[in-house]
Chain A
């Protein structure tokens, strides 16, 4: 066997890791041995998503790989050790800790570092940068002792940093050297509009300011003196004035570097030494550095190809961007400044709606060569592929930016070639998506998890959805969203019908829009929809036959046919006297008793005929049904919060109780749960709930669509620092929108994963009220709240209904199939064996022992 080629990867950032991962998945991987060094104390993490750290993601959440994964594939890794020398002749490297390692091929993936202008006073304690997790920790710490903060640099990263500072509650200013913000990506019109919008958010913008020095301040910690004689006082300073390629090693050990830095590489990503490659932000290709992750990923692919005898080449990359800065949509495509000789440009601006669009087209007026979009970036996903693929503009160019919906060229994704890049964050082309779809990913959620498309910045999610639908159509796979054999409609469509035609019974609906008599799929689904809409008692003659296993007797059926009993204990708060009542009931009916994972108490083993008696005692003691059986609100978990906890910011228990009492009784597509924590320590695990609420020093942060269960999902931060009223308004809208549009038995997490446009779209619907349904969602919720009644109380007061709570219609006897064994001092139900059942039928007495 030939000896393995030994490869050393210097730097385990996004690109270094991508290189290793690509190699691992290469069929010839067994011929290679890989070692990687990281100067940072951890392996690669998602730097693009770094700012999510401030939205509650942890360093672990951001990790792109793990030691286990590398171990599993035989990759050796050393963290917190910097490579400091290269011996090209001996083919070895040395690290700061003195480790010497030989290589056959060396890959430099050292990335870049933030440029800090040489301003006197720049090296003080609260002068920071924004690049690593450690930087963010320092920023957080500094923000706690700072009132104001200045970001130096009004480019992309600077504005992202400004956003982070405002979220940390710091009064924020941006200082920019150039006459406008985002000078690289935006033209004057776009830059001006962006500036206005940002100023409206309370962020100070200071352009054409050249910082001369940083000295001690009078009202704040520092004073920044500008060249024009003006000054600004601030407690902390964040430098975001551009990046510089980390080319130190190349400089010292004689690899060719560019005039303004960067390790020179050829089309195969080799440096001037053929055994050394450079990829990512440290590499200079044709005089250009690429400060985005997608080109770095392409370089990683090219280098792997070259090492394994392939012939892929790096051909440059498109630097178009689309993003949300401080909540404002901004996009820039290609030659946005119209620098191409003879190019023509079209501009549309609307001061009222705060929208600015500019389209730059080729001299023959046929092709898009650039664009700037601020405030409304919907056209981005159509324009970008048209430019990249050199397609002709369908119709007239001005139609591309005019707000008319009529006649606007709706370019179907169908027209795009397979090579069209759909997700630039994860380097996924249309072809990749098509392949995955043909391979069986027929749901948006699956497609995203198997290709990773749409899981970075999220900007491409709508396009990914369009490709999916288009391909499924072509494959002749009708996306069958029919509810069941009786209804050729999806749940969402049926909900629309029920609401718009005001249909109130199952029979009406199946006669007008279905066939046959219904089944165990459509009956409960429609029963639940009608309950969301009308909130009627679920056991009326019309409703009762729609109820599934549990709802029909208002309890959870256990394996032996007995039921569990779960009273509501809102927010987990319970008085000692109530605990005593519960204890007495458990004892008197000999019920197996357990504290649930949802902060309440569950009694098991109640027989059908016992349910009304047990509930009568509970209702008389002031308890209500906990609806543990319904697809409805379960629990609102709370931590003790500011009432007792020394860290509590707000009263999380009161909020949890309020929320639980507000939404109790609401029937939904699947069960849903909430949590309220009093501070970021998150003792209530709110981020694992469908709706999570966490107190801050300025109000409530709202998280949506988390899940524990089979496939855990962390909730997405939806809005920050809300007052009580806005918090409840948003929750009303999110939950009711979920009830209207989700599929049957779809938790909010899966609903979100399949929602085209993802959480950003949900924000548009709920916060911006883009569909103009906010008020009606709130009204629908209010109706449910106003019509709440405890189902068990209603049942106890209804003798007709109580008749059903007997095992036999014609006898007082009880089910003889039940058997019990003792378990830690309580009785545990078990099913009789076949043998026991036969003997029992013959009238033999069964002595039960543990089986």
Chain B
């Protein structure tokens, strides 16, 4: 598998997200603070129909880390992209890793 670096690990602020452009797609990347783990899902909110998920709040829903959409607050699971309230509106999750201080997304 090949990887593309999108930013430095230090560009991430704990418990918030950023958006990266990767292979023409908008990807929301989050750093969860307690586990210091990086997640990546699509930036497109299929309910509000806007590219905003990276700007949502990270919410722990019964132990599962999600992002609450900044528009109408539905929760998307960081690990899978699943939408908890409206599963038919789940989004894509991306493979992401941190290598030598760099955040990388898997190429297709």
A548 within 8 A of B: yes
Max chain B C-beta neighbours (<10 A), residue from A541, A559, A808: A808
Residues of A contacting B29 with CB < 8 Å? Answer: 809
Chain A's nearest CB lies how many Å from the CB of B49? 5
Interface contact A548-B51, CB-CB below 8 Å = no
B34 within 8 A of A: yes
B38 within 8 A of A: no
Q: Indicate which residue in B16, B19, B22, B50 contacts A552 across the interface (CB closer than 8 Å).
A: B16
Residues of A contacting B24 with CB < 8 Å? Answer: 841
B14 within 8 A of A: yes
Interface contact B48-A549, CB-CB below 8 Å = no
Complex alpha-carbon distance, A808 and B59, angstroms: 23
A710 within 8 A of B: no
Max chain B C-beta neighbours (<10 A), residue from A485, A524, A808, A810: A810
Q: Which positions 23-43 of chain B face chain A at CB distance < 8 Å?
A: 24, 26, 29, 32-34
Residues of B contacting A82 with CB < 8 Å? Answer: none
Name A's interface SS. loop
Interface contact A831-B49, CB-CB below 8 Å = yes
Residues of A contacting B61 with CB < 8 Å? Answer: 485, 519
Complex alpha-carbon distance, A803 and B107, angstroms: 25
B52 within 8 A of A: yes
Given that A545-B14, A559-B71, A561-B50 are contacting pairs, would A517 and B34 also be in contact in the complex, using a CB cutoff of 8 Å?
A: yes
Interface contact A557-B57, CB-CB below 8 Å = no
Interface contact B20-A561, CB-CB below 8 Å = no
Residues of A contacting B6 with CB < 8 Å? Answer: 809-810
B77 within 8 A of A: no
Residues of A contacting B44 with CB < 8 Å? Answer: 817
Residues of B contacting A808 with CB < 8 Å? Answer: 19-21, 26
Residues of A contacting B14 with CB < 8 Å? Answer: 541, 545
Complex alpha-carbon distance, A804 and B60, angstroms: 23
Residues of B contacting A810 with CB < 8 Å? Answer: 6-7, 20-22
Chain B's nearest CB lies how many Å from the CB of A553? 7
Contact with A along B57-77 (1 / 0, CB 8 A): 111111101001011010000
Complex alpha-carbon distance, A807 and B16, angstroms: 14
Interface contact A545-B15, CB-CB below 8 Å = yes
B97 within 8 A of A: no
Interface contact B19-A561, CB-CB below 8 Å = no
Interface contact A809-B16, CB-CB below 8 Å = no
Complex alpha-carbon distance, A486 and B52, angstroms: 26
Given that A520-B59, A831-B50, A841-B24 are contacting pairs, would A804 and B68 also be in contact in the complex, using a CB cutoff of 8 Å?
A: no
A799 within 8 A of B: no
Chain B's nearest CB lies how many Å from the CB of A504? 17
CB-CB nearest in chain B for A801:
B13
Q: Indicate which residue in A523, A545, A561, A807 contacts B13 across the interface (CB closer than 8 Å).
A: A545
Given that A545-B14, A545-B15 are contacting pairs, would A516 and B71 also be in contact in the complex, using a CB cutoff of 8 Å?
A: no
Chain A's nearest CB lies how many Å from the CB of B74? 10
A614 within 8 A of B: no
Interface contact B33-A517, CB-CB below 8 Å = yes
CB-CB nearest in chain A for B14:
A545
Residues of A contacting B59 with CB < 8 Å? Answer: 518-520, 523
A427 within 8 A of B: no
Complex alpha-carbon distance, A547 and B59, angstroms: 12
Q: Indicate which residue in B13, B34, B50, B55 contacts A541 across the interface (CB closer than 8 Å).
A: B13
Interface size grouping (class) on chain A: 35 or more
A544 within 8 A of B: yes
CB-CB nearest in chain A for B18:
A809
B11 within 8 A of A: yes
CB-CB nearest in chain A for B67:
A520
Q: Indicate which residue in A486, A553, A561, A803 contacts B11 across the interface (CB closer than 8 Å).
A: A803
Residues of A contacting B33 with CB < 8 Å? Answer: 517, 545
Chain B's nearest CB lies how many Å from the CB of A126? 63
Chain B's nearest CB lies how many Å from the CB of A210? 73
Contact with B along A814-851 (1 / 0, CB 8 A): 01010000000000000110100000010000000000
Interface contact A520-B18, CB-CB below 8 Å = no
Contact with B along A538-552 (1 / 0, CB 8 A): 000100110111001
A811 within 8 A of B: yes
Complex alpha-carbon distance, A517 and B64, angstroms: 10
Interface contact A809-B57, CB-CB below 8 Å = no
Interface contact B60-A557, CB-CB below 8 Å = no
Complex alpha-carbon distance, A552 and B56, angstroms: 9
A488 within 8 A of B: no
Complex alpha-carbon distance, A810 and B34, angstroms: 25
A213 within 8 A of B: no
CB-CB nearest in chain B for A507:
B33
Complex alpha-carbon distance, A486 and B68, angstroms: 16
A493 within 8 A of B: no
Interface contact B71-A557, CB-CB below 8 Å = yes
Q: Which positions 479-533 of chain A face chain B at CB distance < 8 Å?
A: 485-486, 516-520, 523-524
Complex alpha-carbon distance, A813 and B73, angstroms: 27
Chain A's nearest CB lies how many Å from the CB of B85? 13
Residues of A contacting B70 with CB < 8 Å? Answer: 548-549, 552, 557
Interface contact A545-B19, CB-CB below 8 Å = no
Q: Indicate which residue in A545, A549, A811 contacts B58 across the interface (CB closer than 8 Å).
A: A545
CB-CB nearest in chain B for A831:
B49
Contact with B along A546-568 (1 / 0, CB 8 A): 01110011000101110000000
CB-CB nearest in chain B for A560:
B50
Interface contact A544-B50, CB-CB below 8 Å = no
Chain B's nearest CB lies how many Å from the CB of A517? 4
CB-CB nearest in chain A for B22:
A810
Complex alpha-carbon distance, A557 and B7, angstroms: 25
Interface contact A553-B73, CB-CB below 8 Å = no
Residues of A contacting B15 with CB < 8 Å? Answer: 544-545
Residues of B contacting A518 with CB < 8 Å? Answer: 59-60
Chain B's nearest CB lies how many Å from the CB of A809? 4
CB-CB nearest in chain A for B103:
A809
Chain B's nearest CB lies how many Å from the CB of A629? 12
Interface contact A557-B52, CB-CB below 8 Å = yes
Interface contact A516-B13, CB-CB below 8 Å = no
CB-CB nearest in chain A for B59:
A519
Residues of A contacting B68 with CB < 8 Å? Answer: 519-520
Interface contact B57-A545, CB-CB below 8 Å = yes
Complex alpha-carbon distance, A559 and B51, angstroms: 10
Interface contact B60-A516, CB-CB below 8 Å = yes
Chain A's nearest CB lies how many Å from the CB of B62? 7
Interface contact B21-A813, CB-CB below 8 Å = yes
Chain B's nearest CB lies how many Å from the CB of A835? 12
Chain A's nearest CB lies how many Å from the CB of B47? 11
Residues of B contacting A809 with CB < 8 Å? Answer: 6-7, 11, 18-20, 29
CB-CB nearest in chain A for B35:
A517
CB-CB nearest in chain A for B7:
A809
Q: Indicate which residue in B16, B22, B62 contacts A545 across the interface (CB closer than 8 Å).
A: B16
Complex alpha-carbon distance, A804 and B11, angstroms: 9
CB-CB nearest in chain B for A558:
B50
Interface contact A544-B7, CB-CB below 8 Å = no
Residues of A contacting B62 with CB < 8 Å? Answer: 485
Contact with A along B79-100 (1 / 0, CB 8 A): 0000000000000000000000
Residues of B contacting A841 with CB < 8 Å? Answer: 24
Interface contact B21-A811, CB-CB below 8 Å = yes
14 new A-B contacts at CB < 8 Å, known A519-B59, A811-B20, A841-B24: A517-B32, A519-B68, A520-B56, A545-B13, A545-B16, A545-B58, A553-B55, A559-B71, A810-B6, A810-B7, A817-B44, A831-B49, A831-B50, A834-B49
- List, sorted by A's number, 13 A–B pairs whose CB atoms are closer than 8 Å: A517-B33, A519-B61, A520-B73, A541-B13, A545-B57, A549-B55, A552-B70, A803-B11, A804-B13, A804-B18, A808-B20, A808-B21, A832-B49
The 9 closest A-B pairs by CB, nearest first: A545-B15, A519-B59, A549-B70, A517-B60, A520-B68, A561-B50, A809-B18, A811-B21, A561-B52
Binding site for B on A (CB under 8 A): 485-486, 516-520, 523-524, 541, 544-545, 547-549, 552-553, 557, 559-561, 803-804, 807-811, 813, 815, 817, 831-832, 834, 841
